[in-house]
Amino acid sequence: MNNNYLGLDAGGTSTRAVVVSSDGRCTGIGKAGSGNPTSAGVDAATAAIRDAVTQAVTSAKAGPVAGAALAVAGAGDPGHRRAIVSALSGLVATEPVFEFDVLAAYFSGTAAPDGYVLLSGTGASAVRVEDGRLAGISDGLGWLLGDVGSGFWLGREVVRAGLAPLDGRGTSTALTGLLLDRLGIAVDERRQGGRTATLVAATAALYAMPPLRLADFAALVFTAAGGGDQVAAGILDEAAAGLAETLAAVRTPEIEGPLVAAGSVLARQPDFAARVAPGAVVATDGLAGAAVLALRHGGVLVDDATYARVTSSLDQLTRV
């Protein structure tokens, strides 16, 4: 029998859902806004998840799917989970299972049941996968306590190093000009309470953002380092060392397996990904992995042929 399953990957930027049949063919997709209850709020996140799933099921002309695997960043709380399950009643025939989003990232890069994924997006973590399940995780402790080498970590370093020379600290760096350009702040040397107007305006603009938005400045470190800036190069050295340590912490000799590099930082910076995760497959999207997780939970063996069908059919659907 050829059942339909639903895979969902919900993150801070967008929520995506896919309907996949037992043979690995993706037949419908849906997309909505942030499905992360922490950043978007429980109600908005739940609505986005329902919206994406409804689109996927409707476009697949599938009726209720047999089962669903939901990779929802930040949905650790049982209350969040109940709200999501309740919102999907009528769309999924059996109780959906929740999965770690980092596992969806892993299976977007490989069908192998054993291996590793190194993720650097807004956060950063490394995971060891055994028999298709999360067997060990390092870092991923969040913006305040960990996430070394993540987009937030890089963005905060960019901002700190870029601001320092504005009051005579640190080393002169191209990051200062790049940061001010990005903030749309012109240089104004007039002083307010001992600081330049430039610095006062920049700090006011930065504190007006939620802390996590500092991740938006991560890309500037690659621009500056590419132009030969030594401060930026130093930040990247430290990030690379931190990510290498995070990956090393989950490595075990018993598991050889493939290595997947995932998350917006690694997906957008192939040279940096090659440096911190040599030989890794770079996964740009967690949706294929969510489909694989849905199939696995449905009892479908995802061999290389099935996996190839998942990725190629999904590729066609998203290209339309």
- Binding stretches for a second copy (CB under 8 A): 100, 127-128, 134-139, 141-142, 144-146, 148, 156, 159-160, 163-164, 167-170, 193-195, 199, 203, 206-207, 211, 214, 245-246, 248-250
Q: Among residues 81 and 309, whose Cβ is nearest to a second copy?
A: 81
Q: Among residues 57 and 129, whose Cβ is nearest to a second copy?
A: 129
Q: Among residues 42 and 135, whose Cβ is nearest to a second copy?
A: 135
Structure-token match 């930027």, residue found: 13
Q: How far apart are CA 254 and CA 114, in angstroms?
A: 10
Q: Among residues 58 and 98, whose Cβ is nearest to a second copy?
A: 98
Cβ neighbour number for residue 158 with a 10 Å cutoff: 30
Closest approach, Cβ 34 to a second copy, in A, equals 20
Closest approach, Cβ 176 to a second copy, in A, equals 13
Is the Cβ–Cβ distance between 286 and 105 less than 8 Å?
Answer: yes
Closest approach, Cβ 229 to a second copy, in A, equals 19
Q: Among residues 50 and 128, whose Cβ is nearest to a second copy?
A: 128
Closest approach, Cβ 162 to a second copy, in A, equals 10
Closest approach, Cβ 227 to a second copy, in A, equals 23
Q: Among residues 167 and 303, whose Cβ is nearest to a second copy?
A: 167
Closest approach, Cβ 11 to a second copy, in A, equals 18
* Residue 289, CA atoms < 13 Å, CB-side half-sphere: 29
